[in-house]
Amino acid sequence: MQTVLLETSGMAGSYQAVKAWSRSYDDRAGAFVLVATNFARTLQHFGDILIAAGYNWEVSNYKANRNPKGVAPSLPRTIPSELPYGAGVVLGVASSRANSRGLESEFPDFYDKVTARIAGGEIPDGDTDKLDRMTKAWKAFATNDIVFGARSRLRLVADGLERGYRSDVPPDIPLLAEHLRTLATSADEIRLAANDCADATANHQVALAAMRSDINTGFTAVVVGASVAVAVSVVLIRNPRALTLEGATLDTAATAVAGAIGSFFTSLSGITFTTAALGTGALATIAGLAILITNIDDDSSGAHPTLGGDDPITQETAQKIADHANGRAEQGDGTHYVAGVPPAELAEYVRKVLDGEIPTEQRHGLDNGRAGYWDPVKRALIVENNGGGTVFTPKKGREAFEELE
């Protein structure tokens, strides 16, 4: 697409009547390039974020599982990855440029007779080959399987991400799903913009080619013995028999040619774009997200502080919950932090909750043997899940505790 955009510059020609179409096209094509390349870079960046989130989850579980440790998790590839489309990307599109005078004639004064009969006094010099090539490129992009299915695939991933946790959705999952849906919307807007440019360019090419065909038909019907050659940006009228024409005959021929051009101007003014120029919108927010990588930092020689209480099972459960929450907090939106409790002291805080040293509301017998604890002072929710779990500060407050199933 980048190559075709460069090589089809000037395809619309430079006559006054085409300027409005060219401006609309250039605005949309230029915005398309900017947004499409930003989308590709943002999608790659968000992929890095998802990989980092998965890795951080594995690290938090690895830290929580103190014996046996097994093989430590590792990142599947280097993060951050190299983003596509760097400084060499095409940022501007110029569809308007002089290609020719639009018409050349071996009959003296014929060009002037035609221009005197048309609005603006200029003959279209658009390049039908370039318009056709650009049309095919836009259509190929818009109908590409990856582009066409991007919206549905990204939405499917977002839906699956949320469904995978059923009612016990970690606070950062809705944020990730929201970003995926933003990407899905942007992908479809890009597809629609490409399709719109394809239609407008195709209609322009068809109308321009029809005009030149009508010029050929109209002129040769009046001037028998002349020849007309239609090139990509100009109509060539030749006089192979060295005919001498009366002024009235040339006037009639000029009127026929001007009529074909006038009909084209009418068609051109009716070619509209159905979508507005694209904007980067929320892509900038996603592109600006930081990639956070959790450090394992585990020497297996007492990385965890000594906890109070006298029940080793409760101590281990509290440590697992704290390790999991601390790992999630490094990647998430901050909800896994508990107000006033530093990460190093989180395990002891959880231990006190589980041992009843901190007053909480409790719900036991939840799905899969889970139990929930609500600390009304710190507004923290602790979820114990078969020797593990998590702790966080839910945005919904106590409502999140009530919604546990």
Per-residue pLDDT of the chain in tens (405 residues, 90 and over written 9): 888 998 999 999 999 999 999 999 999 999 999 899 999 999 999 999 999 888 887 887 777 665 666 788 888 888 888 888 765 666 677 899 999 999 999 999 999 999 999 999 999 999 999 999 999 999 999 999 999 999 999 999 999 988 877 666 777 788 899 999 999 999 999 999 999 999 999 999 999 999 999 999 999 999 998 999 999 999 999 998 888 888 899 999 999 999 999 999 999 999 999 999 898 888 988 888 878 777 766 444 345 667 888 888 999 899 888 888 877 655 455 556 787 787 778 888 999 999 998 988 999 989 888 999 999 888 999 999 988 899 988 888 899 998 998
**pLDDT value at residue 89:** 65
* Confidence at residue 251, expressed as pLDDT on a 0 to 100 scale: 96
User: What is the Cα–Cα distance from 218 to 205, expressed in whole angstroms?
Assistant: 20
pTM of the model: 0.73
C-alpha Rg value of the chain to the nearest Å: 34
Dist. CA 42–CA 180, nearest whole Å:
11
- Sort 158 into a burial class: Cβ within 10 Å, 0-12 / 13-18 / 19+: buried
Model pLDDT, residue 299:
45
pLDDT for 88 equals 60
Q: So what's the pLDDT on residue 167?
A: 65
Quote the pLDDT of residue 183.
97
Domain boundaries, the chain: 2-287, 312-402
Do residues 219 and 257 make contact, with C-beta atoms less than 8 angstroms apart? yes
**Looking at residue 330, what is its pLDDT?**
52
